[in-house]
Amino acid sequence: MIHITDGYVIDPKTNFQGYRDILIKDGKIAAVAERGTPLAALLQRAGETEAVEHIDAAGKIIAPGLVDVHVHFRDPGFTHKEDIESGAAAAAKGGFTSVVLMANTKPPVDNEETLAYVLGKGRETGLHIYTCANVTVGMKGREIVDMEMLSQAGAAGFTDDGVPILDETLLREALRRAAKLHKPVSLHEENPSRIANNGIHAGEAAAYYGIGGSPREAEICMVERDIRIALEEEADLSIQHISTKEAVELVRQAKKKSAHIWAEATPHHFTLTEKAAIVHGTLAKMNPPLREESDRMAIIEGLRDGTIDMIATDHAPHSAEEKAKPITEAPSGIIGLETALSLGIRELVAPGYLTLMELLGKMSCAPAVLYGLDAGYLAEKGPADLVIFDKDAVWRVEKDGFASKAANSPFIGEEMPGVVVYTICSGKIKYHAE
C-alpha cells in the first residue's frame, strides 16, 4: 500500500481541488481523506493493518494520471525509433498512465495478430497501453478492416493516422460501422493533392526553404468534408492535431449541432509557429505543419472555449540520422510525452488562458471520455492512476535526458516549469524523480 500525504488534489472530473491524503491498496484508491487524517484511521477504513510506503506530497499537485490518445511507439516495425517499453518509459516520465497508440506500424494494426502483439507488450509495461486499429486494410484507403472483429479483440478506436482517407463513400461506411460499435474514429486531415512538400507551412517557412510547402487549404477541405459526413452518420469523430484557425471554427460550429465531434491540439501547435521551422529545421517539421501566429492563437482560444476537447502529443520519435536529412527528405514529427505537461503550464496556465484544472481536464478526463477509458479521475474505489508534480519547479530539456529512444525535439535547451515527481499506475510507482 501507498500513503500519500499533504498533496493538493485536483480532480477535473468532479472539479474538486483541495488538500487531501490518499491511501492506495491493490491498484485502487482505498481512501481519500482530509489532510492530516491519522494513518490508523485510513487503514481501518481499508480493512488493513500492514505497513505502507509513504509519499510526502507537500508542495505538490496530485492529479489523475495523464491520458494521451495520440502517440506513436513504432512497434512493430520501426523499433530503432521507439518501442513499446521505451515509449512507456517516456510516458511515465511525463506523468501519463494511459496512452492510445496509433496503428501505422509495420505490419499495420489491421489484423488480430498485430493487435494482440501490441496489447500484449503493452500489458508488460505496467502502464495502460491501448491501441487503435486501422480503418482500412494496409492503410491503403481501399478496403475497410474487419472493424467488428478488431473491436471485440480490444481495439480502442480506429484510425489511419498519417494517411488521410480520401474515398468519401468508404469513409462514410467506416463511420457508420464504428458508430454501431461505439468506437471513435480519429482522422489525419491533410489532402495530399493540395501539398507540394509536407511538414512545412506554405508561407514564410516554405519561402525560406524555397519549397512549395503545405497550405492550410489541405487541412480545411478535409475537416469540412469529414465533419459533414460524421454529422450525417452520428459517429464519434476526432479531428487530429488541428492546425488552422479555419478548422477550429469548423469544429466550433459543428459542436453546436452535435456532441459527436471532437478535436485535439498538440503542445507544439499551441506553442510554436512556422518560424520555429526556420530556426530548428527538421526538428520542427511535422504533419500538419506549424503555421502562423493567428492559427496558434485560434487553437488556444479553441482550447479556452471548449471547441478543442483534448491535448494530445502526437509523440512521433525518429532517429537522429533520419532527422539529419534535408528538409524535404527528413520524416515529420517530434517527441512530446516528456514535455507536454510543462508546455501546458507554461503556454496555457501561466498566461491565464486556462486554469490548471482546465489543463488537467484536457490532458486526462476528456480524452478518457472519448475512448471510454476508466481513467482521468480520482475517487475512492477508482483506479490508483496518479501523477504527482511540482508546478513551480523548473527543469531543463536536455538531449540526453529523455526516457524515449529519440531526442527529436525543438525544445532542447529550454527551461520549463512543472516537474513530474511520481507517476503511479495501478497502485505501483512507475516513475520517481530521484
What does the DSSP assignment read for 380-405?
Answer: TTSB--EEEEEEEEEEE--TT--SSS
> How far, in Å, CA of 83 to CA of 405, rounded?
8
CA distance linking residue 86 with residue 408, whole number of Å: 15
Name the helix (H) or strand (E) containing 174: helix 168-181
- Degrees (nearest 5) of the Cα angle 363, 221, 248? 35
Quick check: is 314 catalytic? yes
State the burial class of residue 204 (Cβ atoms within 10 Å of its Cβ: 0-12, 13-18, 19+). Answer: middle
User: Per the structure block, which three cell numbers stand in for 313?
Assistant: 502529443
Neighbours of 231 (CB within 10 A): 16
Its sign, for the CA torsion 15, 20, 24, 30, is negative
Beta strands in 102-169 (DSSP E): 128-131, 158-159
Would you give per-residue pLDDT tens digits along the chain (434 residues)?
Answer: 999 999 999 999 999 999 999 999 999 999 999 999 989 888 888 877 676 899 999 999 999 999 999 999 999 999 999 999 999 999 999 999 999 999 999 999 999 999 999 999 999 999 999 999 999 999 999 999 999 999 999 999 999 999 999 999 999 999 999 999 999 999 999 999 999 999 999 999 999 999 999 999 999 999 999 999 999 999 999 999 999 999 999 999 999 999 999 999 999 999 999 999 999 999 999 999 999 999 999 999 999 999 999 999 999 999 999 999 999 999 999 999 999 999 999 999 999 999 999 999 999 999 999 999 999 999 999 999 999 999 999 999 999 999 999 999 999 999 999 999 999 999 999 999 97
Q: What is the pTM of this model?
A: 0.97
Q: Pick the catalytic residue: 68, 226, 295, 314? A: 314
